[in-house]
Each structure stands twice: as C-alpha cells, then as structure tokens.
Amino acid sequence: MENITLQPSERQIQDFVTQYQTQLVASKNLYVRYLFKLDKATVSVYTSGKVLFQGEKAEQAAQFFGYQASKEKTTSHRQNCPLIGTDEVGNGSYFGGLAIVASFVTPEQHDFLRKLGVGDSKTLTDQKIRQIVPLLKEKIQHQALLLSPKKYNQVIASGYNAVSVKVALHNQAIYLLLQTGVQPEKIVIDAFTSGKNYQKYLQQESNRFSNPITLEEKAEGKYLAVAVSSMIARDLFLENLENLSQELGYELPSGAGRKSDKVASQLLQAYGMKSLEVSAKLHFKNTEKAKKLLER
C-alpha cells in the first residue's frame, strides 16, 4: 500500500476540505483533524499539519497539493533527514520473549553506522550483531522493550492477539523515544501488518502521538534507523533466551521447528506446564506438539 506524507499550508488544507467535503468521515484518532475516504485512498489531516495519504490511489490524491510522484519516490528512500525506525525480534520464535526497539538516527550518523557494518540483522551472524550492538547502544538514541514470555502469555489471555501486541509495543517504543525530545521528520515501522490493521489496533492504546507513521516492507534493508533497531532487538532477544536457558537448565532454541517441540516436551516432563508458561509463547502449535511427544 502506498504511503505519502506531506505538510502543505493551512490554506491548501482548507481548499482540500472544501473540494472533498462529501467524503469527510469521523475519526476516532484524537490527533486527526480531518479524515477523508476517497476512491481507493484515505487522507488523514493531523493536528500537527501533516497530511498522510494511504491506498492504491494515494499518489493521485496527493497531487492536489502539487505532489510529483517521480521526485518523491526518488528521495523517499534516501535517509537525508532525522528518522525513527522500529523493528521487532522474537515474533516467530516459540521460546523467548518479544523484543521491540525504536531508534533515532540522523544523517550525520550514517557514516559511523556504515563503517560498523550495520545492516539487516537477518543477514548478519548473531556473533557479529552482538559485537556491534554495545557501540550502537552507546551512540544511538533508542528505546528498547522486552515482553517476557510470561507477560506475553498474560497479555494474549487478556484479549490481545499476536498482531495487536506488536502494535502496542511499537507504539509504546516510539512514544517513549519521542518523550526524550527527539524530533524526527519521518517514522518508519518495518511492516508486519497493513496500515488499516495498525490504526485499528492503535485505538486500544492510551499513549498516542501526532507524528504520522509509515509501515514499509523490508524497511530494515532500506533505512539505517530500522537496521539499528533490528540489531538491538536481536541482541535483546538472544540475551533473554540465554537467561531463560540458564534458569531452566535446558538450551532453548530460537525459532519454532521440531527442535523446539523436543525441548518443550523435555521441559514438560521435567517441570510441568509452569516451565513453558515462563519460557514460551503458549498459543504456538509447538505446545500441543510437545504434549503429544510426551504421550508417546
């Protein structure tokens, strides 16, 4: 889905309101002044003055404000502005918690990050990531959150699902980072759901901010701020996995494959269900698979 953010003048905004008055709808977001449902495009006018265009025909709607697609697309992936990027690690792993990090990166820091070899954590070895992360933590403003397996299971039981949990954590990480006084011109989230879903689940959250966000697929390979968050989150997730392994006396694997089923069955036999409640994401299919292995 196309996402475009502009900051036109108040006069341009009012001209747009007049032009599309019949497509104006109510918004539950306190920070949205006007919300328009156009043909295959949604336009949100925020109290900050920024205007967010989303949908297949976002470009056409943005042209009202003089938007030029070719120029905007050429510069959209260039990181020539202060930027917050977020990413999460642990979502696909049965054992271990869910780590989410938001990082604030300025253009002046790009050379430093590239010299360190910062990139998508999925393309780097865990050893390399853990060598680099201490320097990233020291030099880059960031906010890291870890939802432990025990807390994760409690939150899921309370009515959240795997997607809404991530929306809550991404939003909270960004909110807390913004509270430190950083002023990003753009906020990019490595997309894990649609913009529509994100906004739907965001309505449940009390801590909100007016800055528009962009959900972009494979953002960790396009934006250094997202790559930094990906690496710090990976380090945090691995640290949590190691701590849980030491506590239980079993090496807990990352991922959700057969190895996880086997270790889970061993934990069930040794300690019972309470061991999985504090170390694993219980709603994964691995839980039932582990129980069946134990019955054999």
Residue stretches of the annotated binding site for a divalent metal cation: 87-88, 190
- Give Cβ neighbours of residue 283 (< 8 Å, ≥ 6 apart): 153, 156, 162
Count Cβ atoms below 10 Å from residue 186 Cβ, excluding itself: 18
252 secondary structure, DSSP code = P
Count Cβ atoms below 10 Å from residue 45 Cβ, excluding itself: 21
- Residues 184/143, Cβ–Cβ less than 8 Å: no
- Binding-site members are 87-88, 190
Contacts 24+ apart (CB under 8 A), 159-163: 162/91, 162/283, 163/192, 163/193, 163/197, 163/201
Phi-psi region of 103 (alpha: psi -120 to 50; beta: other; left: phi over 0): beta
Rounded to whole angstroms, the Cα distance separating 204 from 155 reads: 13
Rounded to whole angstroms, the Cα distance separating 6 from 67 reads: 8
CA-wise closest residue to 151 among 170, 172, 165: 165
